[in-house]
Amino acid sequence: MLDLNRKELAINGGTPIRKRKWRDNFTTGEEEKSAVLRVMDSGYMSLFEGSHYPDEPFSFYGGPEVQGLEEEWRDYYGVKYALSLNSATSCLYSAIGALEVGYGDEVVVSPYTMTACALAPLVYGAIPIFADVELETGCMSAKSIEKVLSPKTKAIIIVHQFGIPAEMESIVDLAERHGLFIIEDCAQAHGAKLNNQYVGTFGNIGVFSLNVNKTIQSGEGGVCVTNNQDLAYRLALIRNHGEAVVGPAAYKNITNIAGFNYRMTEIQAAISRVQLIKLNQLNKKRLELVECLSSGLSSVPFLTPLIAGTEARPTYYVYPIRYDEKSAGVSRDDFVCAVNAEGALFYQGYTPPLYLQPLYQNRTLFKHGYPFTAKENLESSQEYKIGICPNTEKLHYREMIINEHIRHPHEVEDIDDIIKCIKKVVGEGQ
């Protein structure tokens, strides 16, 4: 049992282990500056036009930096098509639209992730159905997904949470048996693999984020990948004012082809191209720091890191740990306060279960309660209440603690500080 009343602890006035500030996730340098200047010198910040001009290479599909990024992304992930967008949120919305999901459909989503995953179906009139996550990985499983399937289920949005690959083989098998589409949210899982295959390439569409907090970034941005030619074109239409394009292009299937501007700029694309070159090295550093932290905490019985399966190579967006309050003998909040007083900087939980947001509690997004009150959706009956996803609630409210510092520019010496902070609080060696 922990004793947090010891006078040597910083929370009680003792000297903290670490006083130095933690460093932010800066992954850019001189190469990115050169890329930005290359675009500035060209004079073209963007070459997108929301029009159909088949003879002009830089109109509907964007400029040379955008197209260059997409080619290099295709090569890295071994896919036929990659389309850059202005955010991963836009990617999720576009993926739902491209798959013709809409009123009368249900989409299975994780409750323990960024809110856009569940909002994307709602934007097109479909209803999100929440399947619980596994305690060991934070990801949905085929078993939890199958429990919530109905005749109205059209698609699944799989989140490779924290950079830990979900069990895609069994999920793909489930989807094929039930005729379901799969969208993979890889926003936190750049370069992660399962059975030597990149996540994002198992389903129909994979989604990646280039937000400032991600492993590689351009401030904001996202990329969709697919091996289906028609889906790639539909993604391009949704990205770039497709309703103005389908007529001149003689494209007949105009369902969900609404006029959005989800286009990436040339500067964002130029930065992203340099960042993609750095990805393997950045992931290598993360895995080195994760291994160091896991090894250092292995002797603490009430801390259990979330882990991937034996055939997976996670890339760890953050370092997630399960805290066993009963074994530790003190509350999670008190433990985190004590460790943070020593300078470690953990935080509790991740994001509250999405189904507890006012949107779902009130079952309304648009006027008159739409899309929940639409006649096509009246048979969608999942109750958004406490208890529907017990593992999610257990992780968030009782067990999960997270550290972000397993990333560039931190080094093993920084991770050693985290280990020392925890071991001081635990009382190892006292």
Q: Residues near 299 by Cβ (< 8 Å), separated by ≥ 6?
A: 428
Q: Is residue 241 included in any domain, yes or no?
A: yes
What pLDDT, on the 0 to 100 scale, is given for residue 429?
Answer: 53
Q: Is residue 381 included in any domain, yes or no?
A: no
What pLDDT, on the 0 to 100 scale, is given for residue 310?
Answer: 83
What pLDDT, on the 0 to 100 scale, is given for residue 47?
Answer: 94
Q: Is residue 292 included in any domain, yes or no?
A: no
Beta bridge partners of 347: 402
What pLDDT, on the 0 to 100 scale, is given for residue 263?
Answer: 98
What pLDDT, on the 0 to 100 scale, is given for residue 381?
Answer: 75
Q: Is residue 14 included in any domain, yes or no?
A: no
Say if CB 338 and CB 328 are below 8 A apart: no
Tokens standing for residue 95: 């993926």
What pLDDT, on the 0 to 100 scale, is given for residue 430?
Answer: 47
Domain count, the chain: 1
Q: Is residue 402 included in any domain, yes or no?
A: no
Say if CB 84 and CB 264 are below 8 A apart: yes
Q: Tell me the per-residue pLDDT of 281-338, one tens digit each, with 9 for 90 and over.
A: 999 999 999 999 999 999 999 999 999 888 999 999 999 999 999 999 999 999 999 9
CATH number of the CATH domain containing 234? 3.40.640.10
Cα separations (Å) of 77 from 15, 72, 200, 206, 230?
A: 48, 9, 8, 10, 19
Q: Tell me the per-residue pLDDT of 223-245, one tens digit each, with 9 for 90 and over.
A: 999 999 999 999 999 999 999 99
Annotate 175-188 with DSSP letters as a single string. HHHHT-EEEEE-TT
Report the C-alpha gap between 74 and 303 in whole angstroms: 39
pTM: 0.97
Q: Is residue 193 included in any domain, yes or no?
A: yes
Chunked in runs of 10, what are the mean pLDDT values of the chain (430 residues)? 95 97 95 98 95 81 97 98 98 98 98 98 98 97 97 98 97 98 98 98 98 96 98 97 93 94 98 98 98 96 92 96 97 98 96 97 96 94 94 98 96 98 85
Residue type present at position 317:
Y
Q: Is residue 399 included in any domain, yes or no?
A: no
Q: Is residue 207 included in any domain, yes or no?
A: yes
Domain range for 181 is 30-275
Report the C-alpha gap between 82 and 208 in whole angstroms: 10
